[in-house]
């Protein structure tokens, strides 16, 4: 799948900011621009555009009504976006009136400005005034999309309207949300508005490229894409807990503070009757069953459209070391010869959860089956994960907790001989020899006892939700 087309900028918060019509600022009209406007059918959005000058809007006017189609289409699309957000239960962007300002665009509608971004971005939600942690604002969008990678103007307007206007929604709750929440939910909002959104799917691939990264810890760098890719997690919350969980998250951020992302997330998950350990372990398994591995195991509605998750190690067996960060996952693929499959480590993996997914048709790779065994590690030792037929098998090890540090382990995965490279074989009384450690073993739910977290998911009414 090629990279996403959008070059979406972080929305900019400021206590008082000039609008493009003030002829100042990074994205602004000039004195040479001749500016007109068009209102949306219901009057909730006003689109300002230039018909002459450096920021002249794309001039195409197919219906020959004297109004450029891009401006007209933008007004309609933005109005539909706002209606979709309202229908989902979100607050709408605050107006100037909400913040004690006079109408800055000549009406009480949300103002939308089509300006030339000159390739440095393509959309932005700007703020007029902030108070009490919330802001009112306006929208800016590229004026003609010349040189941009969108397949058509409709896709561009849909993507940018839904993404950037969701920043306006966020600003009605809490302005200081961290990037992985702000951009992740805004990218998810593209999908909420347009379930076929290509941009959303493309960005989800960013997280699947690097599943060993903690969800809430973007890498350093000018633009890594990670914050946008976390849309996958919010897409998971949407499908597993319902869209109302994303509304609840915004409400929790408003109550706790925009920077209290983890506390807010924990509160939402608890209110949904589950916990992060259960939920994240399910997310880790869903993320395995995507792309060419989709179609059999439980996963997203759009699972087949995603790129496959990155596999850290593969082979007949694996002996390796790994750091598994909180809210991150290790994926291993084995060509299993058949029989018991063991995990062993002399380190303490307590806090890690695991799931075993065979390849559904017994091949080396391809659509995976639901987990045949799941569990949580409880101290160093060795454990028989599952007794399997020969074929490809995936072992998913996640760190499904809100925690500060990674869990670092040297581990062995394979048959009994391989496991013995990390931990000597059980002496027969059920206690593993962990090289001097008294505590040993792991809790598990094997093939016959069912899936631990899948059972919990069923108990709290989670699971795949069709749109």
Query: In the complex, which residues of this chain contact another protein (CB under 8 A)?
Result: 3, 120, 179, 206, 209-210, 213-214, 217-226, 321, 323, 325, 347, 404-406, 408-409
Give min distance, CB of 205 to another protein, in A.
Answer: 11
Give min distance, CB of 218 to another protein, in A.
Answer: 6
Specify the residue, 126 or 367, whose C-beta has the smaller distance to another protein: 126
Give min distance, CB of 328 to another protein, in A.
Answer: 9
Task: Please name which of 333, 383, 324, 384 lies closest in space to residue 351, comparing C-alpha atoms.
Answer: 324
Q: Do 213 and 284 form a contact (C-beta atoms < 8 A)?
A: no
Give min distance, CB of 258 to another protein, in A.
Answer: 14
Give min distance, CB of 290 to another protein, in A.
Answer: 18
Give min distance, CB of 10 to another protein, in A.
Answer: 8
Specify the residue, 146 or 323, whose C-beta has the smaller distance to another protein: 323
Q: Which residues are 444's β-sheet partners?
A: 375
Token duo for residue 460: 């709290």
**Structure-token match 């989800």, residue found:** 204
| Chain length of the chain | 467
Q: Do 326 and 401 form a contact (C-beta atoms < 8 A)?
A: yes
Specify the residue, 68 or 225, whose C-beta has the smaller distance to another protein: 225
Give min distance, CB of 21 to another protein, in A.
Answer: 23
Give min distance, CB of 366 to another protein, in A.
Answer: 25
H or E stretch at 111? strand 110-115
Residue 88: phi and psi, rounded to 5, are -75, -10
H or E stretch at 241? helix 231-241
Q: Which residues are 382's β-sheet partners?
A: 344
Q: Do 324 and 401 form a contact (C-beta atoms < 8 A)?
A: no
DSSP E strands: which ranges in 5-154?
Answer: 34-39, 45-52, 110-115, 123-131, 134-142
Specify the residue, 64 or 404, whose C-beta has the smaller distance to another protein: 404
Scanning 295-451, the segments in alpha helix (DSSP H) are: 416-420
Specify the residue, 347 or 384, whose C-beta has the smaller distance to another protein: 347
Specify the residue, 408 or 458, whose C-beta has the smaller distance to another protein: 408
Q: Do 331 and 316 form a contact (C-beta atoms < 8 A)?
A: no
**CA count, 13 A, side-chain hemisphere, 25:** 21
**CA count, 13 A, side-chain hemisphere, 366:** 8
Q: How far apart are CA 252 and CA 3, in angstroms?
A: 33
Give min distance, CB of 409 to another protein, in A.
Answer: 8
Task: Please name which of 84, 82, 48, 77 lies closest in space to residue 152, comparing C-alpha atoms.
Answer: 77
Kindly report the number of other CB atoms within 10 A of residue 298's CB atom.
17
Question: Residue 157 in 3-state DSSP?
Answer: helix
Give min distance, CB of 125 to another protein, in A.
Answer: 17
Give the DSSP per-residue string, 29-46.
--TT-EEEEEE-TTSSEE
Specify the residue, 73 or 199, whose C-beta has the smaller distance to another protein: 199
């Amino acid at each position: 799948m090629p990279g996403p087309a959008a070059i979406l900028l972080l929305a900019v918060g400021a206590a008082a900011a000039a609008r493009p019509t003030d002829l100042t600022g990074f994205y602004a009209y000039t004195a040479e621009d001749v500016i007109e406007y068009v209102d949306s059918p219901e009057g909730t959005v006003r689109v300002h555009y230039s018909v002459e000058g450096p920021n002249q809007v794309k001039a195409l006017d197919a219906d020959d009504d004297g109004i450029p189609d891009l401006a007209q289409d933008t007004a309609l699309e933005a109005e539909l976006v706002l209606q979709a957000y309202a229908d989902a239960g979100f607050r709408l962007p605050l107006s100037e009136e909400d913040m004690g300002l006079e109408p800055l665009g000549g009406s009480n509608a949300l103002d939308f400005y089509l300006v030339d971004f000159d390739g440095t971005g393509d959309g932005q939600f700007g703020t007029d005034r902030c108070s009490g942690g919330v802001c009112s604002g306006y929208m800016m969008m590229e004026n003609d999309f010349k040189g941009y990678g969108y397949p058509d103007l409709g896709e561009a307007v849909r993507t940018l309207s839904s993404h950037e206007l969701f920043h306006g929604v966020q600003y009605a709750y809490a302005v200081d949300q961290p990037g992985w929440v702000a951009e992740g939910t805004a990218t998810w909002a593209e999908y909420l508005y347009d379930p076929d959104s290509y941009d959303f799917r493309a960005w989800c691939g960013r997280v699947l490229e690097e599943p060993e990264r903690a969800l809430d810890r973007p890498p350093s760098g000018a633009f890594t894409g990670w914050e946008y890719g976390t849309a996958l997690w919010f897409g998971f919350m949407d499908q597993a807990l319902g869209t109302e969980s994303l509304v609840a998250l915004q409400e929790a951020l408003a109550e706790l503070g925009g920077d209290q992302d983890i506390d807010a997330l924990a509160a939402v998950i608890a209110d949904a009757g589950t916990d992060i350990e259960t939920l994240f372990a399910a997310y880790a398994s869903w993320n395995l069953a995507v792309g060419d591995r989709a179609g059999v195991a439980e996963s997203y509605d759009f699972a087949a459209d995603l790129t496959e998750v990155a596999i850290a190690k593969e082979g007949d067996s694996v002996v390796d070391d790994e750091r598994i960060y909180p809210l991150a996952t290790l994926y291993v693929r084995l060509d299993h010869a058949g029989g018991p499959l063991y995990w062993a480590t002399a380190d303490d993996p307590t806090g890690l959860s695991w799931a075993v997914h065979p390849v559904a048709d017994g091949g080396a790779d391809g659509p995976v089956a639901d987990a045949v065994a799941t569990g949580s590690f409880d101290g160093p030792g060795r454990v028989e994960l599952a007794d399997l037929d020969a074929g490809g098998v995936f072992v998913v090890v996640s760190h499904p907790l809100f925690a500060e540090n990674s869990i670092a382990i040297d581990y062995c995965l394979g048959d009994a001989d391989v496991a013995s490279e990390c931990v000597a074989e059980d002496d027969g009384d059920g206690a593993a020899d962990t090289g001097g450690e008294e505590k040993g073993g792991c809790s598990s739910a094997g093939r016959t006892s069912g899936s631990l977290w899948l059972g919990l998911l069923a108990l709290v009414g989670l699971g795949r939700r069709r749109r």
